[in-house]
Amino acid sequence: MRIPMIVAIALAVPLMSLAAQAQAPTATAARPAASDSTSHDPWGATPAGRYALVADVDGSPRNATLTMTIDSTTHQTKAIIAVEGGETDEMTVKVNEPELVLETDTPDGLMTIRLRRHGNDLTGAWMRGLNGGTIKGALAP
């Protein structure tokens, strides 16, 4: 017995559709996971918060606190970094997604800190004059 062509096509189309769906990647599979090291959370136009930082300075950890507040007059972010040992600097803040760029002039040259957010955690780098290193941090309690 021979199957009419129209019946064969009617049976084949749903099977081909199911096979194509099984092979197509889903939207969630194509998007990187939140814990992926390449994913970053945006800072937004006016970042604020208090972060505990640890900078690698010549192979030794150096603790600092970064405090960012919104100026009620200018509505711009103000940043102050207080380094253990008493050094405190006010820094300019620029959001260049996915990075937050902090800068200030110091006697040893321009200090630049670049930070990326991963949830409540931060990673980045610092540079002052010819010196630099990595920096990590987290939202302070």
Q: Are 138 and 52 in contact (CB under 8 A)?
A: yes
Does residue 6 sit within a domain?
A: no
pTM: 0.71
For the chain, 141 residues long, the average pLDDT of each consecutive 10-residue run is: 45 42 41 50 93 95 96 94 92 95 93 96 95 96 87
Does residue 106 sit within a domain?
A: yes
Does residue 38 sit within a domain?
A: no
pLDDT number for residue 11: 43
**Cross-strand partners of 19:** none
pLDDT number for residue 38: 62
Q: What is the CATH number of the domain that holds 129?
A: 2.40.128.120
Q: Which residues of 9-26 are buried (b: 16+ CB within 10 A; e: fewer)?
A: eeeeeeeeeeeeeeeeee
Does residue 11 sit within a domain?
A: no
- What is the extent of the structural domain holding 134? 49-139
pLDDT number for residue 5: 44
The count of domains in the chain is: 1
CA distance 81 to 63: 10
